[in-house]
Amino acid sequence: MNTTRKCLLFVVLVGLTAAMAAAQSWNHDPNSPIGPNRWGFLGGNYNSFATCGSIVGASTSLTEVGKKQTPVDVLPPTAITSVLQDIAFRYRDTPFVVENTGHVVEVPYENGSEIRIGPGLPDEYKLLQFHFHAPSEHTIKGKLADAELHLVHQNALGELAVVGVLLQIDNAHPNPLFDTIMFGAPLNSGDHELAGEINARDLLPRSRSYYTYTGSLTTPPCTEGVHWFVMAQAVGISKAAVDRLHLIVSMFPNYGGYPNNNRPVRPLNGRAVLFNRE
């Protein structure tokens, strides 16, 4: 093998190694060695998931690197009622594509939709995608909802804002759009283009009251500095849609049939949760 081919082979091997490290396997099963209680150890040579924190060995001592993690338990009586900017939702229709990422069911969004939470440019956040967790990640007074919708946005400074919507089974008044999404999602990793368009505005509750705090991504690398807005009013979803979401999660690679994709709640560590009444 000549020198040029050896160099090319070396570059390819290095690239594959880097890609394997970047694609570190993880799941949501708390009892799994690659589950949320061990995420902090799974970031490869540079421990890039350390911010997630981890349970050390078989003990219950918690190694906390990230101090402002999500999700949290929201306690309405202790949330500080404040006069805050209402969220202005400016969502447009987007092509109806549903993706199975191997960790969530996700709908990507075209440019042109946003939320605004103030008068300045940094207060304008573009909608990138929305996805689902089941059961919910946030809890209200310690109680899980049946599922949770996360609408992920980014502003001109690269800062993230996520709107969380709790989804509660209500077979009498379900939002049928959730059924369309879940039954249109592929069972294996990939995407499926459905007919027509979708507008995320149709997934929101009527009330625009919300809780807000500073947190993180809820999946590795658990990056902090994320602005969270958890809508106070839940939205109805059918049991069939929730069951379908659990089925899809159970078929994710590395999940071993585990049907949930919610991260356990994290301590507030002195953070305030504010409440804005519409």
User: Does residue 9 form part of some domain?
Assistant: no
Question: What is the signed CA dihedral for 148, 126, 248, 242, rounded to 10 degrees?
Answer: 30
The average pLDDT across 111-120 equals 95
The average pLDDT across 190-205 equals 97
Q: How many CB atoms lie within 10 A of CB 3?
A: 7
Q: Is 90 exceeded by the pLDDT of residue 94? A: yes
Two tokens, residue 115: 């939320």
- Domain span at residue 134 reads 67-276
Task: Please give the tally of structural domains in the chain.
Answer: 1
User: Does residue 83 form part of some domain?
Assistant: yes
Please state, for a pLDDT cut of 70, what percent of the chain lies above it.
87
User: Does residue 234 form part of some domain?
Assistant: yes
The average pLDDT across 61-69 equals 75
pLDDT at residue 47, rounded to an integer? 74
User: Does residue 29 form part of some domain?
Assistant: no
Residue 234's domain is classified under what CATH number? Answer: 3.10.200.10
> Quick one: which of 124, 108, 185, 113 has its CA closest to 159?
124
Two tokens, residue 172: 């009498």
User: How many angstroms separate the CA atoms of 42 and 163, rounded?
Assistant: 27
pLDDT at residue 24, rounded to an integer? 63
Q: Is 60 exceeded by the pLDDT of residue 206? A: yes
Report the b/e string of 60-94 with b at 16+ CB within 10 A: eeeeeebebbbbbbbeeeebeeeeeeebebebeeb
